[in-house]
Amino acid sequence: MQFTFLMFHWLRTISIFLVLESACAFSTSHTEVYSESAFFSPRSIFWNTLSARTFPAWEWTISPYLQLGSEQAMGSERSGYIYWAPGLNWTYNQLRVFGESRFRSETNELQSPTVIQNPHDFRILLTLGDYQDSPLVPKDNFFAFWEPYSEVLYTSRDSDNIIFRGFTRVGLRYKFTSSTYTDLFVEPTLAVDRIGHFYNNHLDIKPSLRAGHCTGELCISVSAARLFPQYLDGLIQDSQWTSEEGFRFLATIGGPI
């Protein structure tokens, strides 16, 4: 059942990407797509997120966009939602700011979604990320790399919560070709929020192994990480999730089309 769930989402992801790519071939707009599928061993949960964000062809300091997407999870229960969101984006170097009005339709069934409600969520997202590497030996395929990323999210739906998440991947990369690689790294991570949800307040280090390939600007990767979360607020003692140590297996695909 879990394998069927994962295959369903990856087939859906590929189908949507093909449709979007075909549509973009007949238009001058530019679209960014992203999909992430993960399995968390501590809770035996599959998670999938899928989004497509379309911008107009012209370049302004502040650009409008339309985003479509879904978030789905399957563990002891199935849950998730689909959404559409008009928004505005401002970009400066590696800093990106998104403000959007998200309209959600929540579901409790995967194959035959049953609409429960259509809550509105106003969101502001700030992201800052970079990637740098340097060869360990001149003209060698081994590189040391540094990949910092941080984001701050405001969401009106979660009682005006503000969530910060940041990590820095530091490790070694072996490049088989200019577009195919494998990584060995650690990922020190910090997450905090205003309200104090325990799952948004933790530290981790995440020793990880990753393999990836890029075709143009579209990249796909698979990775495995060992989780050692340390919670910051003590709420874990009152939670049914008393132990979060385990593994995370992650597959991603994303980029402009």
Residues found in the chain: 257
Place of tokens 């990407």: 17
Residues 109 and 83: their CA atoms lie apart, in Å, by 16
Write out pLDDT tens, residues 186-223: 999 999 999 988 888 989 999 999 999 999 889 999 99
- Give the DSSP letter of residue 171: E
pLDDT tens digits, 37-79: 999 987 788 999 999 999 988 777 899 999 999 999 987 777 8
**What is the C-alpha to C-alpha distance for residues 142 and 202, in angstroms, rounded to an integer?**
32
Burial class (CB in 10 A: 0-12, 13-18, 19+), 19: exposed
Helix/strand/coil percent split, the chain, to 5: 10, 60, 30
61-75, 131-145, 239-253: segment of lowest average pLDDT: 239-253
Does residue 13 have a pLDDT over 80? Answer: no
Residue 174 identity: Y
* pTM of the full structure: 0.81
pLDDT score recorded for residue 162 = 97
- Cα 252 versus chain centre, distance: 8
User: What DSSP line would sit under 122-152, residue for residue?
Assistant: EEEEEEEE--EEEESSTT-SEEEEEEEEEEE
* Whole-angstrom distance, CA of residue 67 vs CA of residue 49: 13
